[in-house]
Amino acid sequence: MTQSAKAVLLDVKEASRSFGGLKALSEVSLYIGKGELIGLIGPNGAGKTTLFNLLTGVYPPSTGSIILNNESIGGMKPYKINHKGAARTFQNIRLFTSMTVLENVKIAFHQHARHSLFTSMLRLPKHFKGEDEITQKAMDILKIFNLAGQCGEVASNLSYGNQRRLEIARALAAGPKLLLLDEPAAGMNPNETRDLMNLIAWIRKEFDLTILLIEHDMSLVMGVCDRIYVLDRGMLIANGTPSEIRSNPKVIEAYLGQEA
Ligand SMILES: Nc1ncnc2c1ncn2[C@@H]1O[C@H](COP(=O)(O)OP(=O)(O)OP(=O)(O)O)[C@@H](O)[C@H]1O
């Protein structure tokens, strides 16, 4: 796909981020077209999570611009970027572990719900209607992730694989246009990983999503992504289809360097 062939949802231009003397990202430019499923790979410390942190407002870029849906979001607060349509999951799962599975998803809906604090505080009829609607919507999402049967379970009681799935369910509840998944299959066994990848491909279509996926498992990224960006030591060293990336000498060198 060329950049002009499809509407661009995310456009990153020469984004850099330094931490003290360390340049974690160096003038990275990339785009993601609406509806694409894009992989982001690179050796340890390449800057993948830092890029996610810039895209979701954890840190502002030191220089450069980030455009989401034709709007500049670089340096916005995380909740604002979330409202603009970008939701993420984390490398280390971040659930409300003492809340139930259902509550974890409902919280994300509440952050986007229309009923006001005023109606909630006064417990007006509109509040209860809104609450019922949110419970129903949360249950619908949990069903997709096969977690409805465990909706009353405290999140920390779920298996590791299910906690990862719940985190994705929660991100979806925010109604994102762009879903950023940071190693969603980390710690899963091969069967869980395969199921998760099928699910990601399915939700992409069902929810009309654009997805950026960080993943270490190369065969998994190659199998599911339309295009792949490769970072190494903070710089973008390649961009292409899975087969182009597989045979790219710079990519092979970066990964061999890691093993050495
Ligand atoms: N908040 C921070 N303060 C200082 N240095 C940081 C910070 N965040 C990231 N870095 C550094 O920036 C570089 C890139 O880190 P980052 O976590 O983005 O890499 P990564 O590609 O996600 O790595 P991994 O695959 O190991 O998760 C590393 O050298 C890291 O130590």
For residue 260, what pLDDT is reported? 42
Using most ligand atoms within 8 A of CB, pick from 23, 40, 48, 50 the residue to mutate for ligand 1: 50
What ipTM does the predicted assembly reach? 0.96
Mean pLDDT of 91-117: 79
Using most ligand atoms within 8 A of CB, pick from 48, 218, 221, 236 the residue to mutate for ligand 1: 48
Mean pLDDT of 229-252: 94
The DSSP string of 203-217 is: HHHHTT-EEEEE-S-
CA distance 80 to 234: 26
CA distance 250 to 254: 6
pLDDT of 192-210, one tens digit each? 888 888 889 989 998 899 9
pLDDT band at 182 (very low <50, low <70, confident <90, very high): very high
SS3 118: helix
Let me know: does 193 contact 160? Beta carbons within 8 Å: no
**Full set of structural domains in the chain with CATH:** 1-85+176-260 (3.40.50.300), 94-175 (3.40.50.300)
pLDDT of 33-51, one tens digit each? 999 999 999 999 999 999 9
How far apart are the CA of 237 and the centre of ligand 1, in A? 17
Q: Is 53 exposed, middle or buried (0-12, 13-18, 19+ CB in 10 A)?
A: buried
Per cent of the chain over pLDDT 90 is 62
If one compares 62 and 216, the residue with the highest pLDDT of the two is 62
Q: Is the CB of 19 under 6 A from ligand 1?
A: yes
